[in-house]
């Protein structure tokens, strides 16, 4: 049965997806804006178009399934999901306000796990029983692995491109790399939409199952992916300029050639992880890729002080979101 609380949860989930879009818009457009291939307005339209286009390709919904099962079904209630979304939205807006490119994905995952664990504690059970530890550990592992994979692929691609184009006239090469950056940016936006929209799809589907609207094991209603891909695309269109500045200029100075390398590496990494149903952070992935192209010049080309600050934000996102969701759940439980 559809209840008022379920409708509120679905609306909040779609709002989170919209916030995810403008929070993570920088991941897709930072390099293409910093190299002046597109204006900021053109870039967000370009990214949003390919965010939504991913709906037609990523139909296996493996990432959504992983997120849906992060909390064991016995501990998934609408109150748990409501608390997770409220915590995730709060942390996302806070980090966006201060221009910190934290992971929207990990914010949602941490919030869902934290609220589920709080629910288990209130039921008199162990907190760890509430979560699917193998899935959680996989997510945590890729906090480290995703940026490293992106960095390695970016280094390889950048060195290959440099070797191929070493005899080309600089003006001609720059012209072609700016054209290619349109393609690499589109690919990154495409895989970003395919990976990130699915996380909210998993949350909404979990809410429908918890409220007995659909049975466990049923196919996902088609309106869920349509709504989620639309929301993240619209969010991307609204931009996220504070984070664009951090991603596009503060980590390392990026040329059009390096933009192609970083975006292609990010897209490949996201495509691989989506294929295996692993909910990784687009933010972490593209940051690792940008660091990779910086390293091909020299170690000092990367502004490590900025990078260390980002890493701390990554480390803290899941535990902070989990604790915040646990606190929110305690309040929600008293009200509802």
pLDDT in tens, 171-215: 777 778 878 888 888 888 888 888 888 888 989 988 898 888 888
Please give the pLDDT value at position 247: 46
Predicted confidence band of residue 327 (pLDDT cuts 50, 70, 90) = very high
Query: Mean of the pLDDT values across residues 64-79?
Result: 85
Cα(243)–Cα(30) distance, integer angstroms = 8
Residue % of the chain over a pLDDT of 90: 16
Please give the pLDDT value at position 25: 64
Please give the pLDDT value at position 146: 84
Predicted confidence band of residue 306 (pLDDT cuts 50, 70, 90) = low
Please give the pLDDT value at position 62: 78
**What's this model's pTM, rounded to 2 decimal places?**
0.84
How confident is the prediction for the chain on average, in pLDDT? Answer: 81
**DSSP, res 247:** I
Please give the pLDDT value at position 240: 53
Q: What are phi and psi of 69, to 5 degrees?
A: -100, 10
Query: Mean of the pLDDT values across residues 81-91?
Result: 92
Highest-confidence segment of 253-257, 258-262, 318-322: 318-322
Please give the pLDDT value at position 192: 83
Query: Mean of the pLDDT values across residues 69-97?
Result: 87
Query: Mean of the pLDDT values across residues 32-45?
Result: 75
* Interhelix angle 4-34/170-210, nearest 10 degrees: 170
Q: Does pLDDT of 249 surpass 90?
A: no
Q: Does pLDDT of 86 surpass 60?
A: yes
Q: Which residue has the higher pLDDT, 294 or 242?
A: 294
Query: Mean of the pLDDT values across residues 287-298?
Result: 79
Contact 129, 118 (CB under 8 A): no
Angle at the Cα of 147 (from 35 to 47), degrees rounded to 5?
45
Cα(235)–Cα(44) distance, integer angstroms = 9
């Amino acid at each position: 049965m559809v209840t008022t609380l379920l409708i509120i949860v679905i609306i909040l989930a779609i709002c989170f997806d919209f916030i995810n879009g403008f929070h993570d818009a920088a991941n897709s457009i930072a390099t293409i804006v910093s190299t002046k291939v597109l204006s900021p307005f053109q870039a967000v339209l370009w990214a949003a178009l390919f965010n939504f286009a991913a709906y037609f390709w990523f139909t296996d919904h493996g990432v959504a399934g992983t997120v849906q099962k992060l909390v064991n079904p016995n501990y998934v209630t609408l109150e748990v999901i409501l608390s997770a979304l409220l915590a995730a939205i709060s942390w996302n807006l806070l980090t966006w306000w201060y221009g910190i490119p934290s992971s929207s994905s990990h914010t949602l995952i941490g919030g869902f796990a934290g609220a589920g664990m709080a629910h288990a504690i209130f039921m008199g059970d162990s907190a760890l029983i509430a979560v699917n530890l193998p899935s959680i550990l996989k997510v945590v592992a890729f906090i480290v692995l995703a940026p490293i994979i992106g960095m390695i692929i970016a280094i390889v691609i950048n060195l290959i491109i440099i070797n191929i184009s070493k005899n080309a006239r600089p003006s001609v090469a720059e012209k072609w790399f700016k054209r290619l950056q349109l393609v690499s940016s589109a690919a990154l936006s495409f895989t970003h939409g395919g990976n990130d929209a699915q996380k909210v799809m998993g949350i909404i589907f979990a809410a429908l199952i918890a409220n007995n609207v659909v049975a466990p094991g049923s196919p996902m209603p088609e309106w869920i992916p349509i709504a989620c891909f639309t929301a993240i695309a619209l969010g991307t269109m609204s931009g996220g300029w504070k984070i664009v500045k951090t991603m596009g200029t503060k980590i390392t100075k990026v040329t059009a050639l390096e933009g192609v390398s970083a975006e292609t590496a990010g897209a490949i990494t996201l495509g691989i992880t989506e294929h295996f149903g692993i909910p990784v952070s687009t933010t972490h992935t593209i940051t690792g890729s940008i660091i990779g192209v910086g390293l091909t010049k020299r170690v000092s080309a990367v502004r490590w002080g900025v990078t260390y600050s980002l890493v701390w934000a990554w480390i803290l996102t899941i535990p902070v979101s989990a604790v915040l969701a646990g606190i929110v759940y305690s309040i929600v439980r008293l009200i509802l």
